[in-house]
Each structure stands twice: as C-alpha cells, then as structure tokens.
C-alpha cells in the first residue's frame, strides 16, 4: 500500500536560531533556505525570551517565500517553558510589553518572567506548553494553561528518541486530553542540517563554561535537532496524526506579519501648529539669521524645494527632533556638527544642524532624501565624546523611556575570538589557541589557514586541532550577544515597547531595543544618530585652554580660514594627531596633493578612500593637478559638473550629477543608480542603468567609448565613494585641528592628551611629536599635576609647557587622582607620608604614583618611593593621629634606617616609564640599542630621507601602527619609530605571508627593503624582516647606573625587609647586585594600534 503524500502546508513551529545566543547554531537565512529546499511552507521562529532575530527571519522569509510565523519561547522563573505566537498586531504588542517587563527585572541579557505576567498579557497569544514527562507538574501546568489561554492553549508532542518513546508521548497526549488541551506535533530545531551538530555542541560548551570532555548531559542527547522534510515528520508522528495535522490550525490562526508594524515619529509640535508649519517657520527664521543681509535667491529656491519634498514624505517631525537635540547641545555649550548626507540639505544648514552650505558646493538634496526611494532620512550628528551622555539623558528625559531607546549592535564572533573559544571548548591547550589567535589580523574574519598553523609547528593530523580550525571557521560571524549602538536612537510617538522589546543596557541609565540598525532600516523606522567624536571634545578643550591661558577667543567657525602656515604644515604631512588626515595613507598623499585651499582638504579627505582608488580616479586626478595631463571636457555641461575636481568624478554627488546633466536622469533616478552600484554590483540592477547612462550620453553627443569609461569609473566607486557633503563636514574639523596644532602646539598637545583614547597614535607618539615642535613636556608630579594635563608658564610668554596629569598614570583611580590637587591647595606635600595622611590615599594609589615617578618635587625617586610605601598601610594608627593633631604636624609612624638601594639603570627607568605612564620623557628606547644596531648595519629611520631612490636599506624601530585597508589589495602598511624619526613600510602580500607571525606579534622589528620616493614621500618597500624582540627585552639592563638613588618595592617583598627589621646592625650598606638581578626585569610593551 502506498503512503499518503505529506501535507503540503506543513510548518515547523519550534525553530531556534543563533539569536538564542550560544544555543542555536544556524542563522535565520540558513534555516529558511533549507526549509525551502525541503518543501516546508512556514517556520515558527521561537528564540528564547527574545525577538532579536525576528527581523532577520522576516528578511529571509521574503527572500525564500517561506512564511514566517512570529513566536517566542518563554522560559519562566518557575521552570515552566511555553511557546507563544501572536495572532494579530495587538497580541504582538502585548508580547513585546511582556518581554520588556521581564528584561527590566532581569537586567542585561536576562529575562525574569512569572506565570502571573503571562496571565496579565496573554490576550491574543496562542500558547504551546512544553514538557517531556506526564507527571504532576505537567498536569498542573496544563490546568493553569487552560484557565489562562482557553481555546488558545496547546500541548507540544516532540520526539526525543529515548527508550519507551511512544509510551512517553502517549502519556503526554492522555494528560492533555484530560485537561482538554489539544496536542500539536513539532520538532525542536537548533540547526538547519545534520552537519551543524558539532558546532551546536561547541556553543553549548561555551555557554556552560566547560570542555567537551566535561559536558556530559549538558549537551543535546541526540543528533536529531535539524529541519526535516514534511514526509519524514509525518512518518515520525504516524501514531499522532491529529497532532500532526493541527499545525494547519496554528497557521490559520496566526495572521500577524511584521508588515503590519507602523512606525510613528514624535509629533514635536504644540496645539495649533502642524509639524510642517513649525519646520517652515524655523527654516525661514534660521535663514534670516544665516543671511542677515538678505536670503540669496538660490538658497530660498533650494529651501522651498526641500520643504515641499519633506511635506510630501511627511518627514517634518524628524527634522524638528534633530533640531531640538542640536539646540539643547548648543544651549549647554556642547560642540556638535551634523555630517553625512544630511549636509546636502539647505534646510539642515539654515537650522544649524550642519555647517556646510549645500548651495555653495552644488550638493544634491536627493542624495539625502529621495521621493522614489521613500526611505527615512538619516542625520548623523557628532557631539563631544565626553559630553554626549548629557545629550543622551536629555533625550530619555524629554521623550520618556517608554518612547526612546538606543538600537542594538549584534556582537559577532571574529576570527580571534572564535579560535580561542572553540579551542577552549575542545580542550586545546591555551598556549596553542593563543598562538593560533596571534596569527589572525586585527579583528579579521578570515580563519586560520593550515599554512599559518604550520608556522607554529603544530600537528594538523591531530583530530582535535583539525576540528578546532574547522569549527572556528564555522563560528565566525555567529552572534555572541547584543550590545548597544554608540548613539543610534529610535524615538516614537506612542510606546516603543509596542513595536519591539526593550532591555536595560550594560551602561547605567541606558536602554536598548533588541534590533540593530539594519533591522530598523528593513522596517523603515527612523533613527537619530547621536554620535561621539573625540576630536570635537579635543577642540573644545583646546579653545578653552586658548581662552584661559592666551586670551584668544575662537571656535571652529571663527578660526582664520586661510592661514598659510597651517596649509604649509599640512603640505609637509606634519599632521600627527590631527583629524582625518593623520593616517599613513593620508600623510603619503598630502605632499602630492599640496593643499592650498579648504576645498583641497575636502578632496584630500575623500580621495584616500576605496571608491576613488578602485575607480582608478586617484592617479588621473593627481596627474592633472601636477599639470602632467590635460583636462578635457567633451561638452560644457560636463565642465560644470567636474571642473572643480579636474574632470574626475571623486564624489557621489558628482556621479549623480553626471547622470543628470549628461545622460538625462532625473535626480531620483540618479540616486537609484548610486544605490544600485552600492548594493547590486555586477548584477542586473546595474546593467539596467548602464544601458540608460550610455544611451543617454551618446544621444547627447558623447563618444561611446567615453560614456563606457565614465560608467566604469562610477561603478568602481559606487559602493565606497565619499559624499562631498560628508567630506566637507570632516574637512572643517580637519582644518581646525591642523590650525590649532600649527599655531598653538602646546595647547593642542595638552588637549589631545586629555582626550585620549582617540586617533591613530598613542600618547607616546603624540608627546614625541609635540617635543619635536618645541613644546616642553613635564612629568607627572604630586605637587604640580592635576587629573588632566595642564599648561604651565615658561620663559616664553607665548609658549607654555605641558604638565602631564594623573590621568596618564596607569591604574590610578580618578577619585584618588582628583583629591591630590584639592588637598594640595592648602600647602604642597612635603613627603609621601604627608600625602598619605592628608589626602587619605590608599597604599595602592601611592604605589601607582611611585611607579610613575611622581615624587620628583620632594626629592624621592621611583625606587626609594616604592621602598618607603612598603612601610605604610591603608589605615593610620589612631595613636599617631591624636599625637599629630595635638602637635599640628605629621610625623612618620616608623623611623627606618637609611638604605642605599641599587640605582636603576637608565634603560630600566625608561621601561618603568612605559609600564606606568605609557611614554617616557627620557631617551627613546631604541637609543640604548643604537650602537648594536649600527654594528649590524641597521640604519636609523632618519637616514631614510637621505637614502637614494631605489637604494636597499635596513632600518629598525618600535612598531606603532599596522594598517591593512580593504582597498589596498592585500598590501599592509606599517609605521615603526626610533629615536630619530618614523619609517613607513609597505608590505606586499607575499612578504606578509612569509613573515606573518613576526609582523603580527613583534613589538620591535627590523626591515630590509628598497627605498621608494615619490612626490616628497619616502617609503621602504619591505623585502625581509628581522625579529628584534630580544634587543627590546634587554633595554632594562642597559644605560648604566644613574647618579640619583633609585628603589623598587617589589624587591622588598623578596626578603630584604625582614633583614632590615632585625635592626641597624643587620642592615646592609648596599643591596647586592645579585638580589636585583634575581628579579626579572619587565620589558617595554608599546601599545601598537592596528587598523583595517
């Protein structure tokens, strides 16, 4: 007898994705694609206490045609678990509110729900009770399920493949019938196909914090947790056909779709005035303030056109919200500036949201808002990093925490973390996983290859090691947890938790939704980006210091805009620490660009990007700028569009303008062309526009070959090209930071040190650069420093010295560092005990200050200070306190005999400087090694500038920066530094692979290569690398003894203090050199910054 065909409407209603973090092992896309292959018509996504993956599932459903049933698994605090499915829009809102309540109780990453919560929010939800044993607990749960959900209650039948399986299922079915709860057949899917079982075991071990050998029954007990085709599922539930067919009933009742979600932006108006009317009023008020002598016709025309489009699309409330946020920031003196495509808007300009006039730069509003695209606008506003929290809390207070939350960021496994976690779960020794992780570039997503693993002399035939590499590769890209977006706010008119669950963030007083910015874009929600920009905070500090110490009052808008000295500094690529033009690639381009005007900086910011490079626009532009190639414009309209960039389209707006002026595109069609290039490259989406562009250009008299070349250029940078508006916004800050560095290097150094961490360079390089510009930098000191770095007078009334602040001392708490200058205001500190008693500092803080050599003003060096501190405790003896108060003096608790401690070598002092402050004001570390390097025929970095082009030279230095841009076709850039200068290395991919481990792990490196000089820029094309880590480790033993006496408390712990306590007779006159050498000297660790 032939089998009855499987039900064509079968759906799998219990599917766990990898958004049930470290539980599911497959993505929504993989699950829906597999479902399509198997003929499954619908999937019910039921992640645990979460809807985090539901939008990804929605996208996968649209792509595959497999229907999505929105659901969630609720794990209650009493151990009960049930699946819930909203039947309509109102029920979905109640589910979101229910989850938000549980998350608010549980805190970050947790959800604490009780049955009473389910009772309160159950309306419109279908519930499927989970349970594997027909015991009293199940019967009690069935009874309360019936009372709560009525005819919306079901009991799950799930195959577990255990002994007496059918007896178990029969008992559950009987219990359900007794409670009048219908049963439903379902799987319990954790991954999309059987081969993913191994990875699921590994993520279970990561979740449980155990190895695979220790996991036992914490792993899934059978390998059947994958999607099966309808025929197989019908076979498995052959004895429960009614339960199997009941799936159709669920499908019929669950009519809700995410398509029904309707987002409403806050109205932002008072009664009697619409949002559009208010926006128009503010726009014209702002325009009159921007142009007190009369609004230019071009600006007025542009504003009217933009306001008309904003009205048609209903976006006025969005502009009002951003305006309100910016107005609040400015009222508090918080520097801010809008950027991105919003700078294409004249309305944003006159409202004060952006600082770029789009009519002056001929920018396209359609790049920002398009009628055909009908996507929410996206305005990014940068605020001072340290004061952004004030803006964030104002948003929460103004809109309410039920209407405002940050978007999430899905933190995914990268290659390093995947190798470490998988190796740990499989029991691979930690030193092996650390070695493998060390072969991975930065935050890369490329797994460890066999070739790289062999560099560690590992046996790749070992099955556990082989499995580690394979499973780590599978884990890359899998979500690990949700974190918060830096500043992407979603604001709503009604309750936000009716649309998406909200949970507390890890940071205090913040909350986030469960969806990230891509999910928000998919559902066409609007968000406001309140971003932090370190350089804005740096500039605010610099302007404050300039006003306080030099009496000069400037801001970004009022600094001299055509300062020749500033442009000369930029042309020399003397831009360490400045904004945007400080990277290796930017500094290499500056001497060739030779910027002389603000627009040159706009081009400079934009040209060193993947788009212009891939579109082969950089070299033609440079040749034309250097007068080595003629600029040709076949027709006048092309000259109008491209004249300011010498006939080469460098900006996205120019690509759109070429399509409009030269091929007859409408502005909206031009924006669709840009988006097609960005999203559908090499597909039919682009080819459709290709034909239209080439046909339109040839019809207007352009040569077909020229039209084809134009399209190739546009295609090359469609996805990576920089908007001119964005480049202009950044160029303003780049110029301001350069002006401050050029004209006031002391102020700039102080401000940027107080703004760390930020930028390409660590404080050591910033201080070294400031010293090269004649700035005196003074060490941390208990009688002179404050928490922040400060400016101190010098003999030159126009130039100040920078005093390093306590913020530079590693490990010193802000509260401890801040109290020191407050107490010092009465009188300077006379001794360590004086500081300890008056400021009430814990011994740990005193030790951090000693390690930073901060007692110089009282004549106590690092080693002596550490020795002295060993005799102190965190509490002063009451007897001494009373005596000191009576005599109004501070006397030491214990008078110890003087000990002549062995002085530190100068090299060891430098090592300790790096360990405690991250920089040194003494000799450069490499200076101690110069004689030995010279004997090895290794040149100084400064000599590179005197070497001939093409000459082969070997240099060495500390590794500062490693950069591997995605646009550089596998080329790696490295910056090394010695006591004379920095050297810029170019490493081709073949050389990188040959020396991969050394390049990625070495703190000091030697490089032999060929000098290449072009346009005043010197590079060394690397051919061979030398590991100099042994020399770096030896610095602590070099330099000879200094004249000053030094000390280190660690050696006291090694037994010398017990000798001293035996009395003066037992005290040695001098600590032996052998005792010092028994302690292994630490080595310099330079904080290398790796960028991609």
Determine the 3-state secondary structure of 624 from DSSP. Answer: helix
Q: What is the pLDDT of residue 70?
A: 96
Residues 1062, 1016: contact at Cβ < 8 Å? no
Residue 405 · residue 356 · CB < 8 Å: no
Q: Higher pLDDT residue, 95 or 974?
A: 95
Residue that wins the pLDDT comparison between 856 and 872: 856
**Confidence band of 294 (pLDDT split at 50, 70, 90):** confident
**Which whole number is the average pLDDT over 589-606?**
87
Query: Which pLDDT value is given to residue 414?
Result: 85
Higher pLDDT, 105 or 365: 105
d(CA 805, CA 541): 15
C-alpha 791/C-alpha 868 separation (Å) is 31
Whether 973 shows a pLDDT value over 60: the answer reads yes
More confident residue, 615 or 942: 942
What rounded mean pLDDT belongs to the chain?
Answer: 83
Local confidence band at 628 (pLDDT 50, 70, 90 cut-offs): confident
pLDDT at 747: 96
pLDDT for 178: 93
pLDDT for the residue 177: 94
Residue 2 has pLDDT above 60, yes or no: no
User: Which class for 960: exposed (0-12), middle (13-18), buried (19 or more C-beta within 10 A)?
Assistant: buried
Domain 903-1060+1081-1092 homologous superfamily, CATH: Nucleic acid-binding proteins (2.40.50.140)
Average pLDDT rounded to a whole number, residues 273-281: 90
CB distance 911 to 863 below 8 Å: no
Q: Which CATH superfamily is domain 410-483 in?
A: Bacterial DNA polymerase III alpha subunit, thumb domain (1.10.10.1600)
Q: Is the pLDDT of residue 1044 over 60?
A: no
Would you say residue 366 has pLDDT above 70? no
Report percent pLDDT > 70 for the chain: 84
Helix residue spans in 700-813 (DSSP H): 704-716, 724-743, 745-753, 763-772
Angle, helix 618-625 to helix 598-607, in steps of 10 degrees: 150
**What's the sign of the alpha-carbon dihedral 61, 67, 71, 72?**
negative
Q: Average the pLDDT over each of 561-575, 661-675, 760-774, 1034-1048 and give the range with the smallest value.
A: 1034-1048
Outline which parts of the chain fall under CATH 3.30.1900.20: 275-407+485-533
pLDDT for 129 equals 96
Q: What integer pLDDT is reported at residue 1072 of this predicted model? A: 36
pLDDT of residue 81: 95
pLDDT at 970 over 70: no
Asked whether the predicted pLDDT for residue 971 surpasses 60, the reply is yes
What is the band of 738 on the pLDDT scale with cuts at 50, 70, 90?
very high
Question: pLDDT at position 72, please?
Answer: 97
170 pLDDT exceeds 70?
yes
Better pLDDT: 138 or 1091:
138
pLDDT at 686 over 70: no
The arithmetic mean of pLDDT across residues 667-682, rounded, is: 62
pLDDT for the residue numbered 895: 58
- What's the rounded mean pLDDT across residues 168-181? 94
Tokens of 544: 């404050």
The pTM (predicted TM-score) of the whole model is 0.78
For position 1070, what pLDDT does the model report? 36
pLDDT of residue 195: 92
Checking DSSP bridges between strand 528-533 and strand 479-491, what pairing results, if any?
A: antiparallel
Q: Is the dihedral of CA 681, 686, 687, 690 positive or negative?
A: negative
Q: What does the pLDDT read at residue 781?
A: 94
pLDDT attached to residue 1060: 31
CATH 2.40.50.140 residue ranges in the chain? Answer: 903-1060+1081-1092
- State yes or no: pLDDT of 338 exceeds 90: no
Segments of 280-425 assigned E as strands: 336-339, 380-384, 404-412
For the cut 80, the answer to whether the pLDDT of residue 713 exceeds it is: no
Residue intervals of the chain classified under CATH 1.10.10.1600 are: 410-483
Task: For 203, list phi and psi in degrees, rounded to 5.
Answer: -65, -30
Residue 45's DSSP bridge partners are 15, 70
Give residue 1059's pLDDT: 32
Within 10 A of 551 (CB to CB), how many other CB atoms are there? 7
Beta bridge partners of residue 459, listed in sequence order: none
CB 236 within 8 A of CB 157: no
Residue 683 has pLDDT above 50, yes or no: no
pLDDT of residue 819: 92
For the chain, the straight-line distance linking the first and the last C-alpha, in angstroms and rounded, comes to: 64
Query: What is residue 570's predicted lDDT score, i.e. its pLDDT?
Result: 92
The total of other beta-carbon atoms located within 10 Å of residue 940's CB is 19
**Lowest-pLDDT choice from 453-462, 1040-1049, 1056-1065:** 1040-1049
Q: At what angle do helices 832-839 and 843-851 cross, to 10 degrees?
A: 140
CATH number for the segment(s) 275-407+485-533 = 3.30.1900.20
pLDDT, tens digit, for every residue of 192-244? 999 999 999 999 999 999 999 999 989 988 888 999 999 999 999 989 999 99
Tokens of 153: 């209650």
Q: In 3D, which of 586, 606, 594 has the Cα closest to residue 724?
A: 606
Q: What is the pLDDT of residue 1057?
A: 32
Residue 878's H or E segment, with its range, is helix 878-887
Whether residue 764 is predicted with pLDDT greater than 60 in this model: the reply is yes
Average pLDDT rounded to a whole number, residues 162-186: 93
- pLDDT score for 872: 75
- 4-20 residue pLDDT tens: 444 456 899 999 999 99
pLDDT in tens, 129-145: 999 999 999 999 999 99
Q: Answer left, alpha or beta for residue 919, where phi above 0 means left and psi between -120 and 50 means alpha.
A: beta
Backbone dihedral angles phi then psi of residue 530, each to the nearest 5 degrees: -105, 90
Which range (342-351, 597-606, 896-905) has the least confidence? 896-905
């Amino acid at each position: 007898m032939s089998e009855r065909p499987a039900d064509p409407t079968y759906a799998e209603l219990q599917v766990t994705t990898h958004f049930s973090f470290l539980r599911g092992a497959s993505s929504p896309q993989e699950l829906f694609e597999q479902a399509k292959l198997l003929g499954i018509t619908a999937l019910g996504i039921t992640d645990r206490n979460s809807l985090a993956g539901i939008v990804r599932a929605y996208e996968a459903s649209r792509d595959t045609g497999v229907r999505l049933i929105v659901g969630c698994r609720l794990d209650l605090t009493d151990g009960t678990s049930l699946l819930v499915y909203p039947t309509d829009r109102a029920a979905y809102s109640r589910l979101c509110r229910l989850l938000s309540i549980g998350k608010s109780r549980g805190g970050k990453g947790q959800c604490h729900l009780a049955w009473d919560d389910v009772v309160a929010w159950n309306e419109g939800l279908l519930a499927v009770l989970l349970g594997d044993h027909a015991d009293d607990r199940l019967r009690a749960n069935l009874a309360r399920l019936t009372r709560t959900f009525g005819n919306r209650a079901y009991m799950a039948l799930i195959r577990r493949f255990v002994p007496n399986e059918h007896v178990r299922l029969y008992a559950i079915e009987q219990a359900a019938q007794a409670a009048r709860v219908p049963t439903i057949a379902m799987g319990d899917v954790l991954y999309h196909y059987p081969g993913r079982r191994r990875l699921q075991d590994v993520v279970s071990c990561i979740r449980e914090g155990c190895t695979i050998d220790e996991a036992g029954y914490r792993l899934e007990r059978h390998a059947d947790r994958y999607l099966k085709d309808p025929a197989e599922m019908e076979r498995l539930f052959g004895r429960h056909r009614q339960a199997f067919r009941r799936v159709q009933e669920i499908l019929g009742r669950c009519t809700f779709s995410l398509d029904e979600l309707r987002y409403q932006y806050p109205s932002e108006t008072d009664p009697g005035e619409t949002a559009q009317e208010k926006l128009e009023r503010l726009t014209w008020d702002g325009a009159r303030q921007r142009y007190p002598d009369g609004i230019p016709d071009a600006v007025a025309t542009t504003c009217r056109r933009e306001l008309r489009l904003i009205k048609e699309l209903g976006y006025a409330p969005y502009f009002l919200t951003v305006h309100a946020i910016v107005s609040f920031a400015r009222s508090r003196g918080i520097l801010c500036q809008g950027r991105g495509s919003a700078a294409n808007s004249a309305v944003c300009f006159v409202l004060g949201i952006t600082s770029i006039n789009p009519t002056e730069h001929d920018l396209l509003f359609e790049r920002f808002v398009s009628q055909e695209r009908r996507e929410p606008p996206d305005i990014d506003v940068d605020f001072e990093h340290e004061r952004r929290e004030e803006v964030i809390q104002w948003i929460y207070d103004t809109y309410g925490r039920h209407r405002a939350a940050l978007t999430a960021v899905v933190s995914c496994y990268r290659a390093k973390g995947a190798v470490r976690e998988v190796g740990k779960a499989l029991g691979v020794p930690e030193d092996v996983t650390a070695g493998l992780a060390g072969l991975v570039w930065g935050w890369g997503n490329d797994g460890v290859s066999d070739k790289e693993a062999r560099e560690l002399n590992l046996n790749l035939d070992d099955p556990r090691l082989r499995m580690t590499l394979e499973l780590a590769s599978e884990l890359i890209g899998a979500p690990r947890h949700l974190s918060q977006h830096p500043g992407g706010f979603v604001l709503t008119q009604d309750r936000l938790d009716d649309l998406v669950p909200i949970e507390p963030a890890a940071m205090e007083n913040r909350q986030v939704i469960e969806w990230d910015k891509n999910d928000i874009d998919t559902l066409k929600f609007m968000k406001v980006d309140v971003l932090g920009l370190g350089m804005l905070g740096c500039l605010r500090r610099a302007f404050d210091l300039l006003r306080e110490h030099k009496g000069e009052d400037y801001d970004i808008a009022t600094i001299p805009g055509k300062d020749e000295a500033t442009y000369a500094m930029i042309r020399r690529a003397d831009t360490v620490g400045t904004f945007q033009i400080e990277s290796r690639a930017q500094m290499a381009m500056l001497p060739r660009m030779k910027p002389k005007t603000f627009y040159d900086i706009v081009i400079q910011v934009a040209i060193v990007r993947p788009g212009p490079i891939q579109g082969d626009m950089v070299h033609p532009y440079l040749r034309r700028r250097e007068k080595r190639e003629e600029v040709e414009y076949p027709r006048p309209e092309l000259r109008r569009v491209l004249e300011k960039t010498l006939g080469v389209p460098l900006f996205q707006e120019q690509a759109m303008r070429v399509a409009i002026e030269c091929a007859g595109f409408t502005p909206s069609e031009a924006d669709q062309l840009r988006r097609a290039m960005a999203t559908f490259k090499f597909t039919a989406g682009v080819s459709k526009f290709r034909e239209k562009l080439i046909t339109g250009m040839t019809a207007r008299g352009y040569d077909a070959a020229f039209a084809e070349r134009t399209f190739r250029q546009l295609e090359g940078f469609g996805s990576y090209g920089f908007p001119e508006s964005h480049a202009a916004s950044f160029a303003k800050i780049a110029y301001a930071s350069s002006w401050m560095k050029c004209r006031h290097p002391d102020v700039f150094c102080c401000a940027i040190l107080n703004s760390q961490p930020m930028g390409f360079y660590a404080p050591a390089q910033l201080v070294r650069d400031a010293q090269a510009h004649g700035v005196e930098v003074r060490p941390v000191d208990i009688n002179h420093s404050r928490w922040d770095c400060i400016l101190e007078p010098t003999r030159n009334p126009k130039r100040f010295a920078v005093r390093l602040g306590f913020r530079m001392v590693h490990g010193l708490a802000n509260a401890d560092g801040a109290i020191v200058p407050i107490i010092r205001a009465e009188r300077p500190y006379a001794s360590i005990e004086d500081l300890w008693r008056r400021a009430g500092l814990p011994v740990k803080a005193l030790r951090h200050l000693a390690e930073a050599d901060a007692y110089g003003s009282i004549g106590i060096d690092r080693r002596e200070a550490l020795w002295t501190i060993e005799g102190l405790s965190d509490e002063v003896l009451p007897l001494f306190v009373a005596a000191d108060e009576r005599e109004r003096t501070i006397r030491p608790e214990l008078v110890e005999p003087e000990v002549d401690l062995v002085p530190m070598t100068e090299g060891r002092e430098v090592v300790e400087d790096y360990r405690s402050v991250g920089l040194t004001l003494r000799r450069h570390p490499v200076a101690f090694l110069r004689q030995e390097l010279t004997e090895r025929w290794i040149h100084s970095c400064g000599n590179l500038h005197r070497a001939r082009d093409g000459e082969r030279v070997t240099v060495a230095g500390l590794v500062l920066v490693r950069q591997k841009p995605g646009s550089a076709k596998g080329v790696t850039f490295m910056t090394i530094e010695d006591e004379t200068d920095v050297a810029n290395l170019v490493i081709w991919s073949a050389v990188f692979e040959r020396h991969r481990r050394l390049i990625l792990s070495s703190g000091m490196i030697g490089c032999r290569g060929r000098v290449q000089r072009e346009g005043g820029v010197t590079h060394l094309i690397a051919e061979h690398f030398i590991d100099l880590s042994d020399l770096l480790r030896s610095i602590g033993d070099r330099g000879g003894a200094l004249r000053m006496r030094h000390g280190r408390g660690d050696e006291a712990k090694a037994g010398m203090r017990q000798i001293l306590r035996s009395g003066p007779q037992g005290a040695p006159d001098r600590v032996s050199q052998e005792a010092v050498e028994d302690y292994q000297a630490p080595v310099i660790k330079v904080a290398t910054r790796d960028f991609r």
